[in-house]
């Protein structure tokens, strides 16, 4: 399996620069694939430290970080990353899969399909794929428990933050501008946010096989969990009540009185690139795994006890845009 050359969408010469055999046992319930930029070594180390590999093995889960190449100076918002550093990191941790295409937000669909294709070829025994971005605080312990207890019989499905009637951005000044030649319809197909979702492996296989038949579209979650999923009949189920788009909710999970005694109300939420928040959220999740926490009563939920922004768009940068600050008393009344 090291390194293999095979087609990927419209890249006929795609190859894995780095590949690792992480699914080295039969009992793999879920494989976690994490989108990360090569420059984000510190973020990857936060995940490795606070959600250690031994926990994942105990839960019949495996984890791999998905990277592309970034040896050039034109990396937006990131430093270029020499390939030898990635090779060295892979030799130390054996948890990296890297494609030979360039790291860029317009190439995220390549990375997304690469990850799903890798799972179907190298970890096909897994029941679920959990795809996530490295800056999203995801409680993998609760996520796995929910999959195991509520959704264990699921097939041909994607579970996550469901987006319905989201519109393409038509403002040319926006980084996320999409012209009508790229996407003609007024609304995107209903899709599941790429922040963090679970997909059954049979759905991943169907989507990967279909991906070769259609033109490339660079907004990856729209294309993969929306357009392609709809074409092949994959069901998309919203778990929206277990997500938050507000960083304040994540902070409140950690900072409200007696927070150490309670599970966070959310499976996933943004860190807004606050590495301390990300580390604390993962530490809290692990603490509740080792010493089971309590569920907050509805009247004392984080959403009621915390400051929250209204009318936010989860497709826009989290925490930006117009919002109304709403405070609720400690009693929840």
Contact 249, 308 (CB under 8 A): yes
Q: What is the pLDDT of residue 72?
A: 75
Task: With a cut of 70, list the residues of the chain below it in pLDDT.
Answer: 1-5, 74-78, 307-333
Q: What is the pLDDT of residue 45?
A: 99
Backbone angles phi, psi at 101, to 5 degrees: -90, 170
147 Cβ contact partners less than 8 Å away, ≥ 6 residues apart: 29, 30, 127, 128, 154, 159, 198
**Angstrom distance (rounded) from CA 16 to CA 5:** 7
Q: Please list the alpha-helical segments (H only) found in 160-228.
A: 201-211, 220-221
Question: What domains lie within the chain, and their CATH numbers?
Answer: 16-240 (3.90.550), 246-333 (no CATH)
Could you write out the DSSP letters of every residue in 26-72?
S--SEEEEEE--TT-HHHHHHHHHHS-HHHHHHTTEEEEEEEEE--S
Q: What is the pLDDT of residue 25?
A: 80
């Amino acid at each position: 399996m090291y390194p293999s050359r095979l087609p990927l969408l419209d890249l006929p010469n795609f190859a894995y620069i780095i590949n690792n055999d992480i699914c080295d046992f039969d009992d793999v319930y879920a494989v976690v694939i994490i989108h990360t930029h090569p420059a984000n070594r510190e973020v990857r180390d936060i995940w490795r430290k606070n959600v250690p590999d031994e926990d994942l093995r105990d839960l019949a889960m495996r984890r791999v970080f998905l990277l592309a190449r970034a040896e050039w100076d034109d990396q937006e918002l990131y430093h270029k990353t020499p390939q030898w550093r990635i090779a060295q990191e892979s030799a130390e941790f054996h948890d990296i899969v890297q494609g030979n295409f360039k790291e860029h937000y317009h190439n995220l669909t390549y990375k997304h399909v690469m990850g799903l294709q890798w799972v179907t070829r190298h970890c096909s025994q897994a029941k679920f794929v959990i795809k996530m971005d490295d800056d999203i605080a995801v409680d993998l312990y609760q996520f796995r428990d929910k999959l195991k207890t509520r959704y264990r019989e699921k097939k041909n499905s994607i579970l996550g933050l469901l987006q319905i009637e989201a519109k393409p951005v038509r403002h040319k000044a926006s980084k996320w501008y999409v012209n009508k030649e790229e996407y003609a319809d007024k609304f995107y197909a209903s899709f599941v946010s790429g922040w963090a979702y679970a997909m059954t492996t049979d759905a991943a296989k169907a989507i990967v096989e279909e991906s070769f038949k259609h033109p490339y579209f660079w907004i990856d979650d729209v294309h993969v969990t929306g357009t392609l999923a709809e074409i092949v009949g994959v069901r998309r189920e919203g778990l929206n009540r277990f997500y938050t788009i507000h960083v304040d909710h994540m902070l409140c999970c950690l900072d409200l009185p007696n927070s150490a005694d309670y599970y966070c109300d959310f499976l996933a939420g943004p860190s807004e690139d606050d590495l301390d928040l990300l580390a604390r959220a993962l530490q809290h999740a692990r603490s509740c795994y080792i010493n089971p926490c309590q569920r907050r009563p509805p009247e004392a939920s984080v959403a009621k006890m915390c400051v929250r922004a209204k009318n936010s768009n989860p497709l826009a940068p989290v925490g930006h845009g117009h919002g109304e600050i709403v405070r609720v008393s400690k009693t929840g009344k």
